[in-house]
Amino acid sequence: MTVISAQKETRPTTTYSPLAPPRRYLFGPGPSMVHPRVYEALSKPIVGHLDPYFFGVMQEIQQLLKPVFGADDGVTMVISGTGSAGMEASVANFVEPGTKFAVFANGYFCDRITEMGKRQGASVVRLEKPWGDTFADQEAVDFIRREQPQVVAYVHAETSTGALQSGRAICSAAHDVGALVIADCVTSLGGIPVNAAKTGIDVAYSCSQKGLSCPPGLSPMFLSSRAMNWLGSRTSSPRSWYLDLKLIYDYSTVSHRYHHTAPISMFYALREALVVIAEEGIENRWERHRRCHEAFVKGVEAMGLRMLVPEGQRIWTLNTVSVPQGVDEAKVKSRLLEEEGIEILGGFGPLAGKVFRIGIMGPLATEEHVQFLLRELKKSLASQGYRP
């Protein structure tokens, strides 16, 4: 073991300038803007992951998540990973090798959940539709009755397409055949009613950085009593230890049995983001997002642009606007970013180059910010030769 004396100091050859992120207006599909109080919470001194104070913060988060998920019964908790970790936790805990797993497939995140199901050894069956479409009640019921799956998954708000999928018919048909239902609520939670219990969802996962307006890094989950009973009676261990929901539940609730070292600062931030939401009132928040969505749609239609998804099937928090003929989507985006610090994203997969994906969430969901965005979008389109 080499011991270096205090005199023989080594200094780095490269110097690093202070961290100075550029100012961005986050109008993409997420992350969204973060409330100053949430940043303040992030920078509070940490305590240990087994400290009674920390367990108090965890418990507050669980309570605060209930109205946001619409969790009249069941359990809410938080996974120490991003929304994709929540997706993997849902699949790895409820889909066993050989499980018949039915996926409603109409976008990228449906494909991701399919891939996760395959990796868990499931037998995956899919009902496919073009990206941007949704499934009608009867289509959903027919598919589930025909396939008789054990687990069903759908994406409530498809971030890749902007389409909102109603879950009532899916959940009801799934329960009729004894199946559990997993719902991806990554882009809906906090901005659109999820109504998990009323809809009949058994397992819902989301992220921290969209409708909740907290930085990314955590995945809030809802588990129905049915899902908890199923989990309690599962005899095999999930292939993932890190995302083993029984162990995470034990750490997060009554016994507080050590599982992993939770990201303390991120939990502080999520707690504060949820308090901000509780103070506004979740129903007021949904309504604010609905109004801003409508104002935005009105504005883009006035510019002669068209929404990809038909009215009534649109996600309030994430708008997909068709790129007009002859306009280079990438140039519009980069002009917005470089000149105004506005982030919007484009489409990918079958929608590459065909849509703009524009999120209006959290602190940016105000009439003023919508009008600012519309003005800048118009300028940027005009610079690419677009005339309504």
Build a one-symbol-per-residue string for 83-112: x at contacts with a second copy by CB under 8 A, - elsewhere: xxx-xx---x-------------------x
Does position 115 bind a second copy by CB under 8 A? yes
Build a one-symbol-per-residue string for 286-305: x at contacts with a second copy by CB under 8 A, - elsewhere: xx--x---------------
Is 116 strand, coil or helix? helix
Positions 343 through 372 that interact with a second copy (CB under 8 A): 343, 345, 348
Cα–Cα distance measured from residue 135 to residue 388, given in angstroms and rounded to the nearest whole number: 32
Q: Are 355 and 29 in contact (CB under 8 A)?
A: no
Does position 19 bind a second copy by CB under 8 A? yes
Give the residue, chosen from 193, 295, 363, 369, that forms a contact with a second copy under the rule CB under 8 A: 193
Does position 184 bind a second copy by CB under 8 A? no
Of 139-147, 212-220, 226-234, 368-376, the window that binds a second copy (rule: CB under 8 A) is 212-220
Q: What tokens were used for 80?
A: 């120490």
100 contacts: CB under 8 Å, gap ≥ 6: 122, 123, 125, 147, 148, 149, 150, 151
Cβ proximity to a second copy, 24 vs 100, nearer residue: 24
Cα–Cα distance measured from residue 149 to residue 178, given in angstroms and rounded to the nearest whole number: 8
Does position 168 bind a second copy by CB under 8 A? no
Cα–Cα distance measured from residue 218 to residue 207, given in angstroms and rounded to the nearest whole number: 6
Does position 22 bind a second copy by CB under 8 A? yes
Does position 233 bind a second copy by CB under 8 A? no
Does position 31 bind a second copy by CB under 8 A? yes
Give the residue, chosen from 141, 177, 275, 374, that forms a contact with a second copy under the rule CB under 8 A: 275
Does position 330 bind a second copy by CB under 8 A? no
Cα–Cα distance measured from residue 358 to residue 338, given in angstroms and rounded to the nearest whole number: 17
Does position 241 bind a second copy by CB under 8 A? yes
Does position 250 bind a second copy by CB under 8 A? no
354 contacts: CB under 8 Å, gap ≥ 6: 308, 322, 323, 329, 347
167: closest CA among 148, 180, 149, 150?
A: 180
| CB of residue 136 to a second copy, shortest distance in Å | 17
